[in-house]
Amino acid sequence: MDDLRHGEPLAPRTTLGLGGPAEHFLEARESTQLEAALRWAKEAAQAVTVLGGGSNAVVPDAGVLGLVLDVATRGLAFAKEGERVRVTAQAGEDWGAFVDRMVEEELAGLECLAGIPGRVGATPIQNVGAYGQEVAETIDRVRVVDRRTGERRELAPEDCAFAYRDSMFKRDLGRWLVLEVDFLLTPGGAPALRYAELEKNAPPVPTLASVKETVVALRRRKSMVLDPADPNTRSAGSFFTNPILPNDEAARAIEAAVRAGVVEAPEAVPRWPVGEARTKLAAGWLIERAGFAKGTRRGAVGLSTKHALALVHHGGGTTAELLAFAEEIVAGVRARFGVTLEREPRLLGVD
């Protein structure tokens, strides 16, 4: 393929700014390029790693073998469907700009997901969510290439098996390549105010635009937006997911917090019911109470000074240092609470 590049640095293409090069690299601006690249990789017996905006990716120091595909397809289409509007977005559309556009069009359903870096194609994989909203609520179709067969497929929400920060795409990362996502949004709909912190900070008469701006301001306070002037900006966002545990395991973790003197009473441990049988705990709270304060440093890497869930690269570091610090945190939380945190960003070429 004439448009392949070799030894392409990947660190500048990620928000962490870490890691080595791609053995082969292609920036695909058309879906036909993506499919041609998959065929080339299959014929050449090359592994394929998909890269989007690089905001949820960790690159190994040795780089990534095989072909790294940068999904950079662009385009939007709008169609009225009854009381809602179907918006078809190409996978390479910038997510933040896409949410901004939907709010400008007064289409409700994504306003709480403003300020999140990345691209549209990654959102169904991760089931991106924040401040009480998830993309699973508005996704109606996901068009993909099945990398096993080379066939295009159109998947309905029930096919995607969405769960908290999860989907069937994430459980089988090597199989699917997202081409387009259809969202069903509500013209003139009311903004979602389901999250206590957002509801507290929203204006008395909230609009889609004001809620979006409130979300961005809250994220900025936590250094969770990309800002070159922010010393915490080189991160992959939340490095760990909030653990969702069977109720009995959550109860044991809460008892461990009381025994360790972290809290005086079980009621002081933040938790949220998830259905009848499971409980969500706050990963950031667990990390801090396990002895890792905001701003903790391990050389060139550390915790954000604003948010205990974000691991930050301060410059001159390595992916090995970042992952070692992450494992230290996981071990500390496990030792104190009996809870094993799960990493959220992908380790490219490995996951």
Question: What is the pLDDT, as a whole number, of residue 283?
Answer: 98
**pLDDT, tens digit, for every residue of 224-260?**
888 888 999 999 989 999 999 999 999 999 999 999 9
Contact 120, 92 (CB under 8 A): yes
Predicted confidence (pLDDT) per residue in 63-84, tens digit: 999 999 999 999 999 999 999 9
Domain 235-347 has CATH 3.10.520.10: no
pTM tops 0.75: yes
Domain 5-71: which topology? 3.30.43
Residue 2: the pLDDT is: 73
Q: Which residues of the chain have pLDDT under 50?
A: none
The pLDDT score that the predictor gives to residue 3 is 87
What ranges do the domains of the chain cover? 5-71, 76-221, 235-347
Question: How confident is the model at residue 301, as a pLDDT?
Answer: 98
Fold of domain 76-221: 3.30.465
Catalytic positions are 165, 238, 344
The answer to whether the 5-71 and 235-347 domains have the same CATH topology is no
Predicted pLDDT of residue 28 = 95
Pairing of strands 278-281, 271-274: antiparallel
d(CA 299, CA 81): 54
